[in-house]
Structure 1
Amino acid sequence: MKFLLDLLFRVLQLFTEPYFLLFLAVIIIALLKRKNKGKNLRIGIFTSVVLVIILIGNGFLGKLISGYLQKNYINSPEIKYSTDQNPIIVVLGGGIVNIDNTEKLHTMSYSRIVEAYQLYHDYRKNNKSCKILISGKGRGHISEAELFREDFKKMGVPDSDIIKEDQSMNTYQNAKFSTEILKKMGTSSLYLVTSGFHMKRSVALFQTFGLKPIPKASDFIDTEITVFPNSYNAAFTFVMLKEVVGIWQVQLYNSLGINK
């Protein structure tokens, strides 16, 4: 059953890709033409797909999805330094880019580094111990966790306060493999650092494995409603649409008890 559901959601993810929508429209139109279906029907299908993409480019849909994904994480909860015991900050990887055969963290990773370091620094400033768990393998020769570790060390975080989880390839594995480490360590306060648009799904997955992370969103994305569509709106809207499908998948799998 899980295999079929995985396949279903992979297909749904395709509908969040603009090139796939255009490709699908062309295929349908070609089939209709071959079966001598009406010209008006073919034109209508193509026009509908183009209009959907244009409306996405106008930013209206992106604005709605942005609020759904991020509004709950704009204001971070107050940190209780006096009562927190063994706090751990989990930072999720944001991807790796390869420029001229040199592997670097994706641009969104740096806001996560800054957010995590600020929280870590606040604990240390209040004479409280704190550790950072970096989760992510990525698809490069060097793991995301290792690249994160190098940057944290440059910022003054000692190696003894850094924990690497460098096997996970996606958000589900981030949650699963990090949970295995965290449950062995024991902690009263668990902070989860990732991008705002990615937080809702990430929190849901960590909760799936029995944890209650405190969300600390490192950055936010939004679209701007414009008269003429633009690539900025389209790109971020499709990114957020993909995240919504991912949330639906988590919710369905949790309800069926097949997410562990």
Structure 2
Amino acid sequence: MLTLLLLLLWACAMLALWRRRRALAIVMALTSLPLLMGIGPVAQWWLDGIQGTPPHVQTPQWQPSATIIVLGAGLQGSPGNSRPSVPGYSRLLVAAQAFHACNDTGATCRILVSGGHTRTGLPSEAEVYARELHALAIPPQSLVLEDASLNTWQNAHRSAELTRQMQPTQIVLVTSGLHMRRSLQYFRHAGIAAEGLASDHADAMPGLLPTSFNMMLAEYALRERIGILRYHAYNKLGWNEPPALPTHLNPQTTTHASPH
């Protein structure tokens, strides 16, 4: 259906040019541009611009005291049967793998789960994700829950408050590949110099025909770009608080979340 729509728009544009209706042809061509994002190579170029090319599998060089921060990615299900979203499960798996790798070195390792009540009637993301981490053999005493955040900006600032209390020597941030760039930016603003550990890498469906799946991924990448632009705009306008000093330089600094 998307291919048919794209061909129809191009046909209308060619017809308008043939009839010397240049303005109409331009409108038709511009209307078809979003559909181009559904084409495999175009979509992958757009995605890699925000998440980078596929990284090699890397294991952090664990330090004596490490905190792994995993960001919530939403919930699904009913109040009595709530569970993480599909992206949430990939973040939990990578966080659990990182914890066990860290623990095997003899380091003191903890997982900070950040996510509040993002859906009415459901538990907090932190509570549900902690339950799943228990099932992945993470001991309860190694979990810290931050259950008040409703967005990435709040994730960063509320997690910063907790990590200042824990004072780890290393912070590893686990989130989706498309979400990583903006997340690290917000955490730096909150005074947290974290290492990024992406839980996935978005790959577009190959092919020269547009697909709704590729358009969905492209829209997500667009939202991330808008979020980054908004962050810089808010800084220019003075709507964001000044960046916090790095945690190890100013452990007593606290911050307050702004709506992002």
SS in 2 for 1:169: coil
Q: 1:73–1:215: 8 Å Cα contact kept in structure 2?
A: no
C-alpha separation between the residues in 1 aligned to 2:142 and 2:44?
39
Q: Shift in Å at residue 59 of structure 1?
A: 3.2
C-alpha separation between the residues in 2 aligned to 1:94 and 1:162?
18
Q: 2:65–2:109: 8 Å Cα contact kept in structure 1?
A: yes
Q: How many residue pairs end up in the alignment? A: 222
Report the identity percentage.
Answer: 30
2:106 pairs with one of 124, 127, 130? 127
Q: Shift in Å at residue 77 of structure 1?
A: 5.5
Is 2:148 aligned against 1:167?
A: yes
Where does structure 2 lack aligned partners over 5 or more consecutive residues?
1-19, 242-260
SS in 2 for 1:87: strand
- 1:74 matched to which residue of 2? 55
C-alpha separation between the residues in 2 aligned to 1:114 and 1:225?
27
Amino acid at match of 2:82: E
- 1:259 matched to which residue of 2? 240
Q: Shift in Å at residue 180 of structure 1?
A: 1.0
SS in 2 for 1:74: coil
Matches within 5 A, 1:16-95: 40=21, 43-44=24-25, 47-71=28-52, 74-75=55-56, 78-81=59-62, 84-95=63-74
2:190 pairs with one of 196, 209, 212? 209
C-alpha separation between the residues in 1 aligned to 2:73 and 2:81?
17
Give CA-to-partner distance per residue, 1:206-256, whole Å, 9 cap, x none. Answer: 000111000000011122452221111111111111111111112333355
Could you tell which deviates more after superposition, 99-108 or 148-157?
99-108
SS in 2 for 1:146: helix
C-alpha separation between the residues in 2 aligned to 1:224 and 1:243?
20
C-alpha separation between the residues in 2 aligned to 1:222 and 1:249?
26
Q: 1:74–1:217: 8 Å Cα contact kept in structure 2?
A: no
Could you tell which deviates more after superposition, 221-230 or 67-76?
67-76
Structure-2 change in CA distance of 1:210 and 1:72 (3 Å): farther
Q: 1:136–1:168: 8 Å Cα contact kept in structure 2?
A: yes
Give CA-to-partner distance per residue, 1:159-187, whole Å, 9 cap, x none. Answer: 11100001111111100111111112211
C-alpha separation between the residues in 1 aligned to 2:142 and 2:193?
21
C-alpha separation between the residues in 1 aligned to 2:119 and 2:33?
33
C-alpha separation between the residues in 2 aligned to 1:99 and 1:143?
13
The two structures have a TM-score, normalised by structure 1, of 0.77
- 2:123 matched to which residue of 1? 142
Give CA-to-partner distance per residue, 1:36-67, whole Å, 9 cap, x none. Answer: xxx94774465234311221111344222222
Amino acid at match of 2:169: S
- The higher-RCO structure (CA 8 Å, 6+ apart) is 1
Could you tell which deviates more after superposition, 101-110 or 208-217?
101-110
Task: Note the aligned Cα RMSD (angstroms).
Answer: 2.5
Q: 1:90–1:193: 8 Å Cα contact kept in structure 2?
A: yes
2:203 pairs with one of 213, 222, 230? 222
Q: 1:59–1:234: 8 Å Cα contact kept in structure 2?
A: no
2:94 pairs with one of 86, 91, 115? 115
Where does structure 1 lack aligned partners over 5 or more consecutive residues?
1-38
The two structures have a TM-score, normalised by structure 2, of 0.77
C-alpha separation between the residues in 2 aligned to 1:41 and 1:167?
54
C-alpha separation between the residues in 2 aligned to 1:59 and 1:66?
11
Moved over 6 A (4+): none
Structure-2 change in CA distance of 1:116 and 1:125 (3 Å): same
If each structure's helix is expressed as a fraction of its own residues, which one has the higher value?
A: 1
